[in-house]
């Protein structure tokens, strides 16, 4: 069963006109979830990764499982005000709104190779903000990975142009 076919689309959520790509149907399928983690682990198996940074909230699910599989540490990038120790932050625009992401200042050491993980890339605003946080701490974003790319929204193209090396397992285009 292809990964894409396990992803559910909810029309007009959370706003009129948005086709929401819902990974809960993929995650609840034990084979589907394993296929996602195994495919990403296979793709990155021979690359140097010191840490995985997962973006709240859905990026935690995929990112933590991938970190376990690759045997590397996991650090959370969270929405504003959720992290208890000293943070750095970055504001960004969303497909449907605006937000701010933060990371602990001691999450990443200078020169560490960091793989950024989220469930989906749309405009790329979240991933770029998260990458900026890693770079502020002196980390190197060696790649950004997603289960879903929405290429019509231009985010993956933006990441390519900025040298952030996106890799996704499936695309939803023109629908
Ligand atoms: O490429 P972009 O246009 O920035 O959009 C992608 C982001 O939007 C979604 O998260 P959302 O902000 O809805 O938060 P959630 O994971 O906490 O539901 C998704 O999980 C990505 O993080
Ligand atoms: N269309 C979409 N579906 C699910 N998550 C999203 N995040 C941004 N756009 C989204």
Tens-place pLDDT, residues 131-155: 999 999 999 999 999 999 999 999 9
Predicted local distance difference test score (pLDDT) of residue 175: 67
When the candidates are 3.40.50.800, 3.40.50.150, 3.40.50.2020, 3.30.960.10, the CATH number that belongs to 47-171 is 3.40.50.2020
Q: Which of 8, 21, 34, 58 is catalytic?
A: 58
Q: Which residues of the chain have pLDDT under 50?
A: none
pTM: 0.97
Predicted local distance difference test score (pLDDT) of residue 97: 77
Question: Is 58 an annotated catalytic residue?
Answer: yes
| Tokens 């499982």 belong to residue | 65
Predicted local distance difference test score (pLDDT) of residue 150: 98
Q: Which atom of ligand 1 is nearest to the CA of 129?
A: 4
- For residue 6, whether the previous peptide bond is cis, meaning omega lies within 30 degrees of 0, is no
Dist CA 104 CA 89 (whole Å):
9
Give the start-to-end residue ranges of the domains of the chain. 47-171
CB atoms within 10 A of CB 23: 21
Q: Which of 92, 118, 125, 155 to mutate to test the pocket of ligand 1 (most atoms within 8 A of CB)?
A: 118
Predicted local distance difference test score (pLDDT) of residue 93: 82
**Which ipTM was obtained for this model?**
0.97
Per-residue tokens: 152: 């019509």
Are 141 and 134 spatial neighbours (Cβ–Cβ below 8 Å)? yes
Predicted local distance difference test score (pLDDT) of residue 53: 99
């Amino acid at each position: 069963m292809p990964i894409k076919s396990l992803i559910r689309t909810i029309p007009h959520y959370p706003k009129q006109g948005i086709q929401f790509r819902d990974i809960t149907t993929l995650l609840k399928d034990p084979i589907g979830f394993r296929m996602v983690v195994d495919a990403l682990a296979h793709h990155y198996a021979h690359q140097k990764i010191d840490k995985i940074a997962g973006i709240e909230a859905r990026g935690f699910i995929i990112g933590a499982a991938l970190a376990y599989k690759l045997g590397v540490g996991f650090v959370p990038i969270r929405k504003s005000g959720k992290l208890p120790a000293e943070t750095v932050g970055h504001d960004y625009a969303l497909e449907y709104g605006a937000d701010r992401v933060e990371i602990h200042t001691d999450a990443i050491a200078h020169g560490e190779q960091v793989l950024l993980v989220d469930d989906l890339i749309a405009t790329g605003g979240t991933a770029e903000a998260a990458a900026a946080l890693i770079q502020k701490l002196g980390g190197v974003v060696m790649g950004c990975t997603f289960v879903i790319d929405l290429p019509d929204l231009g985010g993956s193209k933006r990441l390519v142009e900025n040298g952030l090396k996106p890799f996704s397992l499936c695309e939803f285009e023109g629908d």
